[in-house]
Chain A
């Protein structure tokens, strides 16, 4: 029986397919666009236009990187405020031309750095949540690895939220939670269990719509099969959303998130 902590380990496996692997397997082309037009081009969160089976999309995603050099320049996919502001800029562009947005979520969390705070990490995430909730073009989210708290959610407000079988998505890392509530980071497996962070649990809680199957043993065993499964699920979601008028789309998106955690019949 796979535990929540087993999924955490699989989700963090360095050999797991990362954003660039998904793009190269799923898309026939990809043109990256850079910069937030303010201060920087964040490498932890990147985006550009791409084609998936003839469908033109904007791809946005956390860029963990697959080599040490890439890991370092991209902060292991921990985005700075500049990354979230770039994501909004590109999504606005996609909206202008009615191009749907596909986001790939894989981050330990937003970057906790001095400049990140000075440039408004909190404000950038908040704005992103507000912005994507009203974006008048379809948004399909795929949680592919680590869905780390606010830094993940900032690009995960969408019409359909898909999640890979061994991905995790949580309000806080199991280690962080264990450190605070158990006063012992080593109790992370207990915390992981208690927090309910696996794809089947999140499906039950109504936070995600679709669990995407992974090859036996995990996505790291076969990138091609993993990405093909994601591709199929993304295309199916895009097809469902294609002809929905923009106003209906954002009302349905509001209703979707509005219903989360409403246990109160009063």
Chain B
């Protein structure tokens, strides 16, 4: 190689994604630091963006009160499922290694403004928040422990639906969790369901819609079928705000849209009304 070869290496510019947060609703660009500082809420349109389970837990439970349970209940690869991109096991193990979580819902006991509760938070970053056998098992156990300890259940959902890599048994978690919720309610305990962006498919069609109250955050996507599936079925374009938190509230399926900053206080207030 000659000494006079021109250096053609391009200067390293970080990709746009690393620098900018783009609001998925209004498409405005913000510096990542600005987005983070605003608690992942769009400064322009007030869309309440996704949080990790740990961030939610920190914002919902009283400092130092959250004690995680059922962490050993993780995914199950009973079908030894493989798809075009490889084995499910490799995918989920990579997710576990990256996130430090062992399932799509993190469950624990805690206090919320002094009220004792069983708190569960789903993490969309874990396999799209999908409902697997481990997720369903954690929720069912949480209901049973809540009954035994007389704790209200507060559950934040964020999910694309059932986890198809676990086949029919992921579908059965819809029945299992709904049955466990039914028993919790029969025992006279409150269940507050918080449907965060996005809550769709088998999760919205089971425990997420079964709250004594169903609450959500501004502009969250909530629905059963996907927008494209519906548009392809009915051959019509759907309104922009279809399946938004505001749309669901207007149609009677959401009790209240709560700002993130008010969420903890709102939950505590409800528990207070109900004597818990």
> Interface residues, chain A, CB within 8 Å of chain B?
110-114, 116-123, 125-127, 129-131, 133-134, 149-150, 153-154, 156-157, 169-172, 177, 180-184, 187, 191, 194-197, 202, 205, 207, 253-254, 257-258, 260-264, 266
In this complex, the member of A127, A157, A262 whose beta carbon has the largest number of chain B beta carbons within 10 angstroms is: A262
Q: Which residues of A contact B175 (CB under 8 A)?
A: 129, 133, 153, 156-157, 257, 260
Select which of A150, A170, A177, A258 is within 8 A of B202 by beta carbon: A150
Is B136 part of the binding interface, using a Cβ–Cβ cutoff of 8 Å?
yes
Tell me whether A171 and B167 are in contact (CB under 8 A): yes
Name B residues whose Cβ lies closer than 8 Å to a Cβ of A.
72-74, 76, 78-79, 81-85, 133-134, 136-137, 140, 162, 164-176, 178-183, 186, 200-202, 204-210, 222-226, 229-230, 233-234, 236, 238, 242-243, 251-253
In contact, B83 and A181 (Cβ under 8 angstroms) = yes
Interchain CB contact under 8 A, A261 and B166: yes
Chain A residue with minimal CB distance to B236?
A114
Tell me the complex Cα distance, A18–B192, Å: 41
- A112/B169 in contact, CB under 8 A: no
B206 in complex: contacting residue of A116, A129, A169, A194, CB < 8 Å: A129
- Given A117-B243, A177-B164, A261-B136, verify A150-B171 contact (CB < 8 Å): yes
Total A-B residue contacts, Cβ distance less than 8 Å: 187
- What residues of chain B lie closer than 8 Å to A258, measured between beta carbons? 140, 176, 179-180
Chain A residue, CB-CB nearest to B78: A263
> Is the beta-carbon distance between A117 and B206 smaller than 8 angstroms?
no
Q: B84 to chain A: which residues have CB within 8 Å?
A: 181-184, 187
Residues in B with CB closer than 8 Å to A266 are 72-73
Please tell me if the beta carbons of A170 and B167 are within 8 angstroms of each other in the complex. Answer: yes
A-B contact pairs, 23 of them (CB 8 A): A110-B225, A114-B236, A117-B225, A117-B242, A122-B204, A122-B208, A123-B209, A126-B174, A126-B205, A126-B208, A150-B162, A150-B174, A154-B205, A171-B166, A183-B84, A184-B84, A205-B78, A207-B168, A254-B183, A258-B180, A263-B133, A264-B137, A266-B72
Min CB distance, B134 to chain A, in Å?
A: 7
**Closest B-chain residue to A263, C-beta based?**
B76
